[in-house]
């Protein structure tokens, strides 16, 4: 199974963007997938929070991450492996050090780069799980939120909320392929949640605002959100651009 996730958020300048994306899709990702311990790769172009305001449930956010946490969110590159340890032999830094001169130059164009390596602690399959590729590549639409609770009490409440409410809702939500709860072994965020959907239309129709149908659950969700600091621009909502949909 693919219980290890390496996620990298970053921005790209407009100049040379298409050239950089072509190298990432044609050279970098296939090169990574040639390693037997890497099971799949997915590259996503993310929406801005501004473009999601109409559909995103408004939540109070009282906590902010440290200013040192990079804000990249234009693209999200994800790789899956059997375990998180697969990404440390070699480590991301060691992999970059042995890149070709061209590779180092292209990767060096990335701005505001943030990285986390996660291990999966729980997953559920949604009604559309059959839409996931046989090689386990995530679906066409992925939302990945990453965050750190303010204290131990808040963390316990967060875990209970995911266990009792958020993950079970995905098992019945139309358009959902699945969801997995993650914890970080490397990177600023302590926790993460990764959702997969078949289309942006169904994501907006069924996922956003779902809690509003249940006032008691909406109140519960608001209490949880006020006690966690999300990474900048989290959750990231992206459309898969590699492999092409």
Each of the 245 residues of the chain gets a pLDDT tens digit; together they read: 899 999 999 999 999 999 999 999 999 999 999 999 999 999 999 998 666 565 455 566 779 999 999 999 999 999 999 999 999 999 999 999 999 999 999 999 999 999 999 999 999 999 999 999 889 999 999 999 999 999 999 999 999 999 999 999 999 999 999 999 999 999 999 999 999 999 999 999 999 888 888 888 889 998 999 999 999 999 999 999 999 98
Alpha carbon distance 46, 56 (integer Å): 14
Question: What pTM did the predictor assign?
Answer: 0.94
183-201 per-residue burial string, b: 16 or more CB within 10 A, e: under 16:
bbeebbbbbbbbbbbbbbe
- Which domains does the chain show, CATH number per domain? 4-242 (3.30.70.100)
Q: Please tell me the distance from the alpha carbon of residue 218 to that of residue 25, in angstroms, as a whole number.
A: 40
């Amino acid at each position: 199974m693919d219980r290890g996730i390496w996620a990298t958020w970053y921005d790209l300048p407009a100049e040379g963007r298409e050239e950089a994306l072509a190298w990432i899709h044609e050279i970098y990702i296939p090169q990574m997938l040639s390693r037997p311990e890497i099971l799949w790769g997915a590259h996503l172009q993310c929406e801005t929070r501004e473009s999601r305001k109409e559909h995103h449930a408004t939540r109070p956010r009282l906590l902010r991450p440290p200013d040192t946490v990079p804000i990249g969110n234009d693209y999200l590159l994800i790789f899956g492996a059997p375990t998180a340890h697969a990404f440390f032999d070699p480590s991301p830094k060691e992999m970059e050090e042995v890149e070709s001169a061209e590779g180092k130059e292209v990767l060096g164009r990335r701005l505001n780069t943030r990285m986390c390596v996660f291990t999966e602690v729980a997953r559920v399959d949604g009604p559309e799980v059959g839409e996931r590729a046989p090689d386990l590549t995530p679906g066409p639409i992925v939302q990945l939120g990453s965050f750190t609770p303010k204290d131990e009490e808040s963390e316990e409440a967060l875990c209970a909320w995911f266990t009792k409410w958020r993950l079970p809702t995905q098992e019945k939500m139309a358009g959902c392929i699945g969801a997995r709860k993650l914890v970080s072994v490397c990177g600023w965020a302590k926790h993460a949640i990764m959702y997969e959907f078949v289309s942006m239309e169904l994501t907006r129709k069924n996922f956003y605002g779902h809690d509003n149908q249940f006032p008691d659950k909406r109140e519960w969700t608001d209490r949880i959100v006020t006690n966690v600091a999300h990474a900048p621009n989290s959750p990231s909502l992206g459309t898969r651009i590699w492999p092409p949909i």
